[in-house]
Amino acid sequence: MLWLHIEAPFAVCRTFTAGWYRPTATFLTPSAAYGLVLNIAGIDSRLPEGAEGHDGKTPATLTAPNLPAMKLALGAPAVDRDGREIDFEDAFPRVQSVYQQLHNYPVGSSGKERAEACKGSKYNITPVRREFLTRLHAVIGIDADAGVLDRVRRGLAGEFARYGVPFLGDNNFLLDRADLLDAPRLAYWFAPVTEGGSGPRARTTRLTVRIDRADLSRTTSQLFAPTEKKAEQPPDNGWVEIAY
């Protein structure tokens, strides 16, 4: 088992993408943490078009088969690097918004009266709101087989090449730090929200657990909420299993 502490000034974990509104989960998702761990370990999770096993029907990069299974626990650190305790509300990233113009070629005849004036440029313009997270700090517990854990250690030490660099949801959103911890850090741990609980819980959010790029109906997500009290170990139900 390994414990990883990451810091990033910006991050995004898309829960869905509409044409004009692109929200983010309010914390690092298990699916994003899984992809980050694989990247650090130098395990390519991509199955591009034309590769063996790609159905050829989906015009997108799919998820490679036979990726390693693991259990992950996610928490917001409750102490800073100097050992000072962090209050509950200050432990979590903030959701921000940016507004942009989305330029595209529309489907059908919509907007065709602007095509000539644009002289070949994309002539449909739509305002888009994109959410993102700022000041993300997270502790990731990794429970996997010894070979995967060894690759994570070696990857952080820069012992082998890997595809690209670690990022969180957008290739402009790079990590500031990724450090191995000697032991789990005091944190507010995320755990699934179950029926028959004690009522509404602060900072409840829907987190994506497993993504299926070929069939989005098979993508899974679940409601999670952080523990209200800080603890050094995640609760038993805070461990989420991801397998492909």
The alpha carbon of residue 86 and the mean position of all alpha carbons in its chain are separated, in whole angstroms, by: 23
Alpha-carbon distance of 231 to 222, in angstroms, equals 22
Residue 3: the pLDDT is: 97
Q: At how many degrees (to 10) do helices 146-156 and 30-40 cross?
A: 70
What one-letter code names the amino acid at 167?
F
What CATH code is assigned to 2-242? 3.30.70.2660
Alpha-carbon distance of 202 to 88, in angstroms, equals 10
Residue 13: the pLDDT is: 94
Tokens 């000072």 locate to 84
Residue 227 has pLDDT above 80, yes or no: yes
- Would you say 50 and 61 are in contact if contact means Cβ atoms under 8 Å apart? no
What is the torsional sign of CA 84, 88, 89, 91?
Answer: positive
Confidence of residue 197 (pLDDT cuts 50, 70, 90): low
Q: What is the pLDDT of residues 94-147, one digit of tens each?
A: 999 999 888 777 777 777 777 788 787 887 778 899 999 999 999 999 999 999
H/E stretch holding 146: helix 146-156
Tokens 């015009």 locate to 59
Query: Domain ranges in the chain?
Result: 2-242
- Would you say 125 and 102 are in contact if contact means Cβ atoms under 8 Å apart? yes
Please count the residues of the chain.
244
For the ranges 100-104, 147-151, 231-235, 240-244, the lowest mean pLDDT is seen at 100-104
How confident is the model over 69-90, as a mean pLDDT? 93
pTM: 0.88
Residue 57 has pLDDT above 80, yes or no: no
Residue 80 has pLDDT above 70, yes or no: yes
Task: State the average pLDDT for the chain.
Answer: 88
